Amino acid sequence: MRVVKVYVNGVAVEVPEGATVLNAIEKAGYSVPLLCYLDGLFNEATCRVCVVLVNGRVVPACRFPASDGIKVTTESDELLRYRRTNLELLLSTHRIECWSCSRKSGCELLALSKQLGVEGIPVCAECPLAGDSCLVARGEPCLGPLTVAGCSAECTRNGAPCTGCRGFITRPEVWKSAAEFYREHGVDGKKVEVAMRFFWASVPDHLKKIALGGAP
């Protein structure tokens, strides 16, 4: 079988002809973010979070064919910007209901958001509680549905509502979904307002109106 030599971040590796740039990256001991790719089943490059530079050109690593002598760069400020933008575009159309998602344990979107520094997933995605144990479902004015993820939801491990220590999410659609969640479980809107005022002094009025308008 014919092989081709690829240079990944300066490391030379040989892969079979017909392999992808991703195959060469992994053989060289490096990695790139992956979301839609599933080895042997799907590699249509629809999410574009695995983009790399090949001879200075931005391409999806999971789909681009490896060829002899190409030079691959897996990390740069430019690539980080592209990956963040692509993930933000995916999140903009994603239905955020992390508090009731059965797949929140091990959520790939959450992991990528943390890795790329993208805001958009609420702390409910990493809450260790499940089902009826959700504090909002008990009527507690927990700020988890409105709070940026990244703390591993430590406060809920002690049965205490989230205090929003990482700050509030700025996406209005997330606030709308959270407001509906509060309303469904009879959470007192005044208590939500008190929590927001106490922990978040700078919440824009338009976001407050969304949350309070959706809560009783």
Q: What is the pLDDT of residues 129-153, one digit of tens each?
A: 766 688 998 899 999 999 999 888 8
pLDDT over 90 at 40, yes or no: no
Fold entry, domain 3-85: Ubiquitin-like (UB roll) (3.10.20)
Q: Going edge to edge, which strands form the sheet with 3-8?
A: 11-16, 3-8, 71-73, 51-54, 57-60
pLDDT over 60 at 216, yes or no: no
Contacts of 37 by beta carbon, 8 Å cutoff, 6+ apart: 22, 43, 45, 47, 50, 62
pLDDT mean over 149-169: 88
Q: How confident is the model at residue 202 (pLDDT cuts 50, 70, 90)?
A: confident
pLDDT over 90 at 61, yes or no: yes
pLDDT mean over 195-204: 89
Tokens encoding 34: 């992956």
Count of CA atoms in the C-beta half-sphere (13 A) of 45:
15
Tokens encoding 88: 């933000």
Which of 63-77, 83-97, 103-117 has the highest average model confidence (pLDDT)? 63-77
Q: What is the pLDDT of residue 215?
A: 46
Q: How confident is the model at residue 30 (pLDDT cuts 50, 70, 90)?
A: very high
Q: Which residue has the higher pLDDT, 134 or 72?
A: 72
Q: What is the pLDDT of residue 73?
A: 98
Strand residues in the chain grouped as ranges (E): 3-8, 11-16, 51-54, 57-60, 71-73
pLDDT mean over 20-45: 87
pLDDT mean over 115-141: 86
> Where are the domains positioned within the chain?
3-85, 96-214
Q: What is the pLDDT of residue 83?
A: 96
Backbone torsion region of residue 33, taken as left when φ is above 0, otherwise alpha when ψ lies between -120 and 50, otherwise beta:
beta
% of the chain beyond a pLDDT of 90: 56
Q: What is the pLDDT of residue 44?
A: 74
Instruction: For the chain, give the mean pLDDT.
Output: 89
Is residue 33 a contact partner of residue 49, using CB atoms and an 8 Å limit?
A: yes
pLDDT mean over 13-35: 96
